Structure 1
Amino acid sequence: MSDIYANSRSTTDTSVRKRDVNPTSGMCPICIKDCKVLCEVGKSALRGREVLYPDTEQFGHSTASSNKDYGLDWSDFQILTDCIGAKGIAPNPDAATFPAVDIRTVAGGVPLSVPVFTAGLGSTAVAKNYWDGLAVGAAISGSMQVIGENVCGMDMDSVITGGKVTHSPDLTFRVQRFRDFWDGKNGEIVVQTNVEDQRLGTDVYALSKLEVNIIERKWGQGAKAIGGEVRIYDLNKALELKRRGYIVLPDPEDPAVQKAFKEGAFKTFERHSRVGFPEFKGFVEDIEWLRNQGAKKVFLKTGAYRPVTTAFALKCASAAKIDLLTFDGAGGGTGMSPVPMMNDCSTPTVYLQAQVMDCVKIMKENGMYVPDIAFAGGFVNETQMFKSMAMSDLGSGPTVKAIAMARPPITAVMKAQYFSELAQKNDLPGQFTRAYSTDPEKFMIAYSDLVAKYGNDAKNIPIGAIGLYTYWHDRLGVGLQQLMAGSRKFKLKYISRGDIASLTERAAAVTGIPMISELENDLMAKILLE
């Protein structure tokens, strides 16, 4: 397929002068000197490495993803409906209504009120800027919030003694903010750790000082196959992060770099973290060590690596008896993942899940322990969630117990917060106010539900958190209930591989899900002639 966006992408704020671009390079057929439009090549000539990343001016208040068509996604499958019988409820019109569908799940031993949780959101500025809404929103939704990598290392108020963190106000705040509204039963707060965190002792600090119950080791994510990156606006902070052992580019200790920064030639430094190189024996021993340190549950988050690495991750997770293993498909990111990497590296989600299910089938056939699995990578709605869980059934119910999201929860929180700010300034769009009023307590449709649950304390819930709750419960939750009722499956454990069919030959070839044109052909005559 052609790559017409190779030289112009909204993520890098680049464009082209002509629409009929070269389908291979994405360049205008005629490139001229007298052109003020900045394409990828032109902007790269001026700003170099900055053009590798999503629009730097929006860092901290944006998320980014690829815009590449991978040739196969969840739209290549169709959900099959039924009207004969029901599973999980009496097949009675008065009982089998869609609000009666139970969408609760247990992932990694953690009960969830909705089968979705927020994947690791760490030191990237957008997570910190919107943490109030994200953490409280996850708590009131009865879900999990994973605190991502590098939080202690990036906290300028951290106390580091002998190379180990002994106090981090930022991590403390992030844990506590979730617990402020947590019911103690549904959902949990999880602390994720990468190579830098392990060196700093973030795991031990979280377990011993903050009484965190769950640690998640991180091998990578679908948006990038390198360490995490963030932008740094302050020279002194850049210097301190380099002293702490991070990779900071350009070198903040270089006098020429300092001069260029002070003169405004560039506005931000890049902070990069290292990548790990897991080994089987070392990983299993590490997980045992974590449990000895007090971890009640241990998760693993991995990226969309090549097939043999996917198998390796499952083998390690099985041997170490990991509670929850999250696979993250290619295509999305929450901070500043390199745009070329988001587009053209790693395995897209549907292909990745097909590989995972091939491995799980082998594991089950050979009596191996299979951890609960979560999938991430471009999920935004309930149809995609249903299809992923259905594909993961190998005869005993879905192996995928929940879907992890990062960009959509951030968007839900940002949008709710922004529209509340617009309401305070009397600057809401006219069409919106005519339809939904100017009062956040009215245009946030789930607000009354939270008042009924929390009473006067509902006023203490951040507006962004209400947005996340509304998105997860009032949209995804109700939408999933409707889909499941249409398939006559009233509990998540009854969703099966037979509930979806492939619409394209590629989908059938990659996943083994039969084409809808071939499905049950052998049974139709039997039904008619019995």
Structure 2
Amino acid sequence: MSHSPTLGTTVTNTKMRTPEKISPFSGMCSVCTADCIGSCEIGYSAIRGEEALYPTGADKSQFASEKDYPVDLSHFNINGHVFGAEGIEADAYKASFPNADISTTVGIDNPIKLKAPFILPAMAKLNWPDYYGGAALAGIMAVIGEDAVVKDKDLEMKSNKVTKSPLLEKMLNSFRKYDHGYGDIVLQANYDDEHINVLDYAIAELGATTVELKFGQAAKGIQGMGFVYSLEEALEFQKKGYLVIPDPSDPVVQEKHKKGIGPHFQRIGKLPMWDEEILAKRVEKLRSLGAKRILFKMAAFDPKDMIKVLKIASFNKIDLVTFDAAGGGSGNSPCKMMNEWGLPVVYMESILYEILNEMKNKGYELPKVAAAGGFAMEDQIFKGLALGAPYISMIAIGRAAMAAAMAGKRVGELIEQGQIPKELQKYGNSVEEIFRDIRLLRDVYGSEVDSFEPGALGLFSYINRVSTGLRQMMALNRKFTLDRIDRTDIIALTKEAGEVSGISTIMDYRDIVRQFI
């Protein structure tokens, strides 16, 4: 069977003419007829060419892989225990899931406290104000995505360096206005951002204290791109130091463009050309500018590259390295890359466990590590922590967190319009009645809560749900602190899952049966 999706997908609003009869190795309909209007990916490509490489409606949507990976987190179940308690006194009145401690810290020399082991990975689109603000309410970390300054209509530059970005300031303040001493807002930079000194400006002028350097471009590792349809805009991007193809300053290209000849302009993200020495100097410079915490963002590249990044992180005392598994995409990823590139999360975490374990055995100081890759609910979060334990101690929640922020915002709009959905009317007709967890925030912020945005409330409530669920899973395993979670807390349900991960299958427990009886 094929694990890849067919050539019809909601990501590009395409569909198969005969979805019940598909050729599995090509993804095409078994019979391709001359009468078809071309509703599939091939037909769409025949009309729109290279535009068909990318998801449609990226300004209003987020995307994920439709590939059915051979092994995923559903191939594991959570173990359970019935005796004792770890990380808390074995007292039935104390060893209860609300007392499971899921707090953590990030930072080697300047640690910050987090209420839960979560980071919301880089985004700078859709409902970003509530994505960042909700993270502050929840007391966790959130990351402003790469290329954010490109969206700033009021951006000011001098000699190809950023001198003013009201949008960046607004993004940072979206978190800060709810900040109550937990978590932080992180500014990410890709190679283009570094070229125009985005981090230098944000640290010196906006007071950013936590920054993240990104390996690769756009979602995961591809070169980010965006079509530019006017010559004037193409020249402006080129003037700012961005790579624009074809060259808009070429008179021949300009003349052809005016006549509607040749390709559309594309602003293409530069592939990073870093090495150990360059990165070491850059990290030192960022710290000298005032950065208190420096993070790395890495995708599931070749294991040799993963090792190299972890070594660099170790040598330079990087505060957190987030590894992003295959499967997601903001809209900048080509569809086929989103489905077919990189390591899915179980594979990625399994390799990272081996790498980090070997590094520890050889005396390396290990950085704190987070894993991203489709985490949405508490069962997946617990499995992700167990699979990577003790080396992967945080989980990055991206698409699900943004979905919560968007849902909260939409419900808030409907409440304001007096158009409360029927299924929500049973809870009441006001924000305070419908958003159940607002009372938890009132205990922290007091009457300020009345002015909080529903989208931020929605994200807070979602994080509260998965945090509570994580505590319940921990209590089920009699583990009441994060550092007690280990690989014995999950069981591989299939031989393939066991072989990929090294996690015991139920058949492996035969030896335990013999040992304990």
Look up the match of 2:122.
120
State whether structure 2 residue 505 is matched by structure 1 residue 509: no
Q: Aligned to 2:356, what secondary structure does the other structure show?
A: helix
Look up the match of 2:459.
468
1:370: how far off?
0.6
Aligned runs of 1:51-450 on 2, under 5 Å?
Answer: 51-55=52-56, 58-108=57-107, 109-122=111-124, 125-126=125-126, 130-183=127-180, 185-220=181-216, 223-230=219-226, 236-248=232-244, 254=254, 256-257=256-257, 270-393=266-389, 398-430=390-422, 432-450=423-441
Cα offsets for 1:383-442 (capped at 9, x unmatched): 12111211222xxxx222211122112111111111222333344443x13443443322
State whether residues 178 and 189 of structure 1, in contact with CA within 8 Å, keep that contact through their aligned partners in structure 2.
yes
State whether residues 4 and 68 of structure 2, in contact with CA within 8 Å, keep that contact through their aligned partners in structure 1.
no
Q: Give the alignment's Cα RMSD to 1 decimal.
A: 2.4
**More displaced 10-residue stretch of structure 1: 324-333 or 214-223:** 214-223
Amino acid at match of 2:128: W
Cα offsets for 1:451-504 (capped at 9, x unmatched): 33322211221111001101101x101110110010011111111111112111
Identity %: 36
Aligned equivalents of 2:382, 2:94: Cα separation in 1: 22
Cα distance change, pair 213–455 in 1 and its aligned pair in 2 (3 A): same
State whether residues 221 and 302 of structure 1, in contact with CA within 8 Å, keep that contact through their aligned partners in structure 2.
no
Aligned equivalents of 1:223, 1:204: Cα separation in 2: 23
Q: Aligned to 1:11, what secondary structure does the other structure show?
A: coil
State whether residues 77 and 501 of structure 1, in contact with CA within 8 Å, keep that contact through their aligned partners in structure 2.
yes
Aligned equivalents of 1:238, 1:445: Cα separation in 2: 48
1:3: how far off?
5.4
Aligned equivalents of 1:40, 1:49: Cα separation in 2: 11
Aligned equivalents of 1:113, 1:32: Cα separation in 2: 58
The runs of 5 or more residues in structure 2 that have no matched partner are none
State whether residues 222 and 377 of structure 1, in contact with CA within 8 Å, keep that contact through their aligned partners in structure 2.
no
Q: Aligned to 1:452, what secondary structure does the other structure show?
A: helix
**More displaced 10-residue stretch of structure 1: 446-455 or 296-305:** 446-455
Look up the match of 1:24.
25
State whether residues 217 and 269 of structure 2, in contact with CA within 8 Å, keep that contact through their aligned partners in structure 1.
no
State whether residues 223 and 332 of structure 1, in contact with CA within 8 Å, keep that contact through their aligned partners in structure 2.
yes
Amino acid at match of 2:171: R
State whether residues 6 and 22 of structure 2, in contact with CA within 8 Å, keep that contact through their aligned partners in structure 1.
no
Q: Aligned to 2:506, what secondary structure does the other structure show?
A: coil
State whether residues 153 and 244 of structure 1, in contact with CA within 8 Å, keep that contact through their aligned partners in structure 2.
no
Cα distance change, pair 222–153 in 1 and its aligned pair in 2 (3 A): closer
**More displaced 10-residue stretch of structure 1: 499-508 or 107-116:** 107-116
State whether residues 16 and 38 of structure 1, in contact with CA within 8 Å, keep that contact through their aligned partners in structure 2.
yes
Look up the match of 2:467.
477
1:10: how far off?
1.4
Q: Aligned to 2:70, what secondary structure does the other structure show?
A: coil
Aligned equivalents of 2:430, 2:417: Cα separation in 1: 12
Aligned equivalents of 2:458, 2:216: Cα separation in 1: 28
Aligned equivalents of 1:9, 1:486: Cα separation in 2: 39
Aligned equivalents of 1:506, 1:121: Cα separation in 2: 34
State whether residues 16 and 28 of structure 1, in contact with CA within 8 Å, keep that contact through their aligned partners in structure 2.
yes
Q: Aligned to 2:343, what secondary structure does the other structure show?
A: coil
Cα distance change, pair 222–367 in 1 and its aligned pair in 2 (3 A): farther
Q: Aligned to 1:44, what secondary structure does the other structure show?
A: helix
Which of 477, 481, 484 matches 1:487? 477
1:63: how far off?
0.3
Cα offsets for 1:296-338 (capped at 9, x unmatched): 1111111110111111111111121211111000110123311
Aligned equivalents of 1:372, 1:133: Cα separation in 2: 27
Aligned equivalents of 1:50, 1:276: Cα separation in 2: 24
What TM-score, normalized by structure 2, do the two folds share?
0.92
Q: Aligned to 1:191, what secondary structure does the other structure show?
A: strand
State whether residues 146 and 218 of structure 2, in contact with CA within 8 Å, keep that contact through their aligned partners in structure 1.
no
| Count of aligned pairs between the two proteins | 509
Aligned equivalents of 2:207, 2:60: Cα separation in 1: 31
Q: Aligned to 1:518, what secondary structure does the other structure show?
A: helix
Which of 485, 489, 512 matches 1:499? 489
Aligned equivalents of 2:230, 2:433: Cα separation in 1: 41
State whether residues 192 and 215 of structure 1, in contact with CA within 8 Å, keep that contact through their aligned partners in structure 2.
yes
Aligned equivalents of 1:321, 1:368: Cα separation in 2: 11
The runs of 5 or more residues in structure 1 that have no matched partner are none
State whether residues 44 and 51 of structure 1, in contact with CA within 8 Å, keep that contact through their aligned partners in structure 2.
yes
Look up the match of 2:43.
42
